[in-house]
Amino acid sequence: MDTQRTIDAPDTVGPVLCLADIGFDAPAALLAAYGLTLHRVPDGAPIPGSYWGAPEAGIIGVDVHARGDTPVHSLLHEAGHLIVLPPECRAAVHTDATDSVEEEDATCYLQIVLADALPGVGRDRLMADMDTWGYTFRLGSTRAWFEQDAEDARAWLLARDLLPL
């Protein structure tokens, strides 16, 4: 097992990068490449399929729901849950997609890698935002986990052809 990880969405969050900061176009294109659709939720409205509640992204089937105040790390994490699932299993997903610790670890790894595909984001910013938001890893930071303790998550993704070599 790679991580001893919890995610505690704080009541007040420091400055993390949100969709309003980068726009919806690049994230929508990234998700579309994986067969997913990004739906923009009006500011202040509830986010369908959000596990943690607003402003966290939500997932229902192949649809990812987010608002302008949704953190980019949340969007990539929830989309990552759908990406790691076989396409035939996605339709059954509503709000919670985690099937195992291995899948959760793979999702965390994938969200970091996907950040490099978004202009103005990148893995360094995403890992800092994950730490700010409250992700905790056994080695003390997202970066330490990603660089020193995530080989099982990377192998899991490579075995399913979900990462470039």
The Cα–Cα gap between 82 and 107 comes to 9
The reply to whether 120 falls in a domain is yes
The reply to whether 8 falls in a domain is no
Helix/strand/coil (H/E/C) assignment for every residue in 36-89: CEEEECCCCCCCCCECCCCCCCEEECCEEEECCCCEHHHHHHHHHHHHHCCHHH
Residues in CB range of 151: below 8 A, 6 or more apart: 2
Per-residue confidence (pLDDT) for residue 100, from 0 to 100: 86
Q: Which is more confident, 110 or 5? A: 110
The reply to whether 6 falls in a domain is no
Residue 157 has pLDDT above 90, yes or no: yes
Residue pLDDT, tens place only, 18-28: 999 999 999 99
Per-residue confidence (pLDDT) for residue 11, from 0 to 100: 47
Which residue range(s) make up the domain with 76?
A: 15-159
Total number of domains in the chain: 1
The reply to whether 7 falls in a domain is no
Residue 13 has pLDDT above 70, yes or no: no
The reply to whether 131 falls in a domain is yes
The percentage of residues in the chain with a pLDDT greater than 70, rounded to a whole number, is 90
Confidence of residue 165 (pLDDT cuts 50, 70, 90): very low
Amino acid symbol at 128 = A
